[in-house]
Structure 1
């Protein structure tokens, strides 16, 4: 890919990420994305197809970043959940994209669902290996719940404020939530191993 093309695509993806995080798939506007990127909107159609396909490119790229940055440590699966929390604190736009995707597609399959199934099957296997068990529906439910707890705190910041107080976004409050999340994860793992 020529450098100018790669640069233009990157600008469009960055602009689209911001636009989709703010407005969702249905509310996003190709004109605004092009304006943010400083690029002719025809480039969007040439590089990505339609708006839904552009959204999928943005989401796929964001999920790949998550999978690259957040890895299962060899010694402590609770640290994996803490890394998920850290990632979402640093990049809350991914959570917004996932929420918009859920609202748009509902219970219907998403365009790249099979790739995600494969990716999470590998994460489930790693998680189960660290627990010393085989992957099972119970282990999958535990991993799903723990990822949900890690994500929820950034998905619903208003609940953090209401329940935890006005300073719930301070560095100290986030560090305390991270510590609690690690302890909660370890207790959940221990509880599952005992049953």
Structure 2
């Protein structure tokens, strides 16, 4: 099982289990304090002790709720940002910055989306290269049919194809110069 799968849903589960565990421990501590101290106190003191302990328990519960809200908002904001970036990529904007330092499942999604984006960029680049290669093939056919003035397009995005075109055109130019010298 991959790390991504193992972490799936980890925030909610971990936060929920952690909150329940803290509340259970706090409740046990309150019960322990009350049962140990209450027998030695008068009725009004017991009432005050119980009131104070319940207040502490409520403060712990509110603090846990506050922490859960902050974590939830942060996670929601991260997912909303990620969704917006995914929509940009879907619309063809491939220059979206997907760099992240996150090591959680949201970070995994960022990295996966970056791989998809990069794959799309490569597909587009290869699509352009395929068009250029097709054009080069047509030019080669023209040259083989005797059109010595045909040249390969050197101004292309793919540097390797541009280099190929430049060298090929140099060969054709040299061949043309040699033919002119031979014809004199």
Q: Which has the higher contact order (CA 8 A, sep 6+)?
A: 1
* Higher Rg: 2
Does TM-score exceed 0.5, indicating one fold?
A: no
TM-score range, shorter chain: under 0.3
TM-score of the aligned structures, taking structure 1 as reference length:
0.26
